[in-house]
Amino acid sequence: MNNRYCWSREDEGIKRLIIELIIQACMYRDFSEKDIVDCATQVDNRNRWLLDSLATYQALSYICEFFNIHDEDKINSLLASPNISGLADLCAQAMNDDDAAITFYTSGSESKPKKVIHSLSSLIREAEDWICMLPDFSHILSTVPTKHIYGFIWTVILPKVANVSACTVQKTMIHSLEITDSTLMISVPAMTHLLDRLPDTSKSSTHLVLSTAPLDFDILQHLHNSEYKTALQIYGATETGGIGLRAGDSPEYSLRPTLCRVNNKVFNKDVCLAVQDNLSFSDNRHFRVDGRLDSKIQINGYNVCPNDIKYEVSLIPEVNDVAVRVIQSNINNEVKLFVALDNTANSSNVMDSLIRKLGALVSVHNVTFGRQIPKNEMGKLCDWD
């Protein structure tokens, strides 16, 4: 049994996760989310849920992959009479196995989503690390999906380890949330504008925890000093798990207790973590993030290399040359393009090609067309605004 924690179908985190995975599995059907949940949680007179056979196979496929369940007899037994309670039993049994493992997928912001498997024991160890670093809390609220590694650790494992309750926040009800006890609010930077609707009295009892995307320290500091009880940011990735934590009173991250630094690399026991950023250590336990190792930047949640954008645009037949500039801000990075066209080009057609190739990576208002790339008197690229 993993790390002395006994999982059962009564664990709310498991039930919440199963529902999320069922919704994800069935979204290809012409069902609303409410319809999917209703069909999964109601049973007929044979104690079978109301999802049809195709949806049932799809849901079990997702869930068995997530929990790494491979026992065909148990799976076939559940297929004969599928219901949430039976699924929760099966998943809890899988989590109690000595070799329990959980499957996640990367966001696909760089390329096709990548499958990543973590042992449950390593995820539990991470949750135990965070508890050692966190202020006291008595409850957990969350705005993030449980099926991703960040949500799984912070809203399924950590509540179990800390022996506290956890629940999902209905986003439409944030303005009326009454938080009186010391509470962790698990969220992401993109949600801070929505969380701003929390009543001031609730903010003063809330430790805000943010992760999954870059956040300028000035913003974290503002949240920490003027609104919330504390504001915390987690640094990590799906492949590595969480690596460090910083509060709004320090720009440096503190390394998780069970991780160690060797030169500028981070090790989990004898395994070197595949960190995607340049980490600058001030001592063995504290570091800053100094940009990506691969020169990529994050734009609208996607990690991209400006040179890759330039190359893709240059493939459009009517394009003679391309210049790419990065517009950096505290909230989100953007790219702007100067596209030099040949004499016969139709800029509207080229814009259509750009949108097809780049999608959300570029905004129409950040594209400038011309005949020559702007350069200064020394022949170097110069800005065009």
Q: Which residue has the tokens 């998780």?
A: 256
Q: Report yes or no: 98 and 1 within 8 Å, Cβ to Cβ.
A: yes
Q: Domain count for the chain, please give it.
A: 3
Is there a single domain that holds both residue 95 and residue 130? no
User: Which one, of 255, 293, 258, 298, lies nearest residue 275 by Cα?
Assistant: 293
Q: What's the pLDDT tens digit per position in 89-133? A: 999 999 999 999 999 998 754 445 789 999 999 999 999 999 999
Is there a single domain that holds both residue 273 and residue 307? no
Residue-level pLDDT at 108: 53
Listing DSSP states for 324-359 in one string gives EEEE--SS-BEEEEEEEEPTT--HHHHHHHHHHHHG
Is there a single domain that holds both residue 217 and residue 68? no
pTM equals 0.78
Is there a single domain that holds both residue 207 and residue 259? yes
Residue-level pLDDT at 378: 33
Is there a single domain that holds both residue 182 and residue 248? yes
Please check whether residue 108 lies inside any domain of the structure: no
- Residues of the chain with pLDDT below 70 are 1-3, 108-112, 294-296, 301, 329-332, 376-380, 382
Please check whether residue 84 lies inside any domain of the structure: yes
Owning domain of residue 332: 297-370
Please check whether residue 337 lies inside any domain of the structure: yes
Is there a single domain that holds both residue 366 and residue 270? no
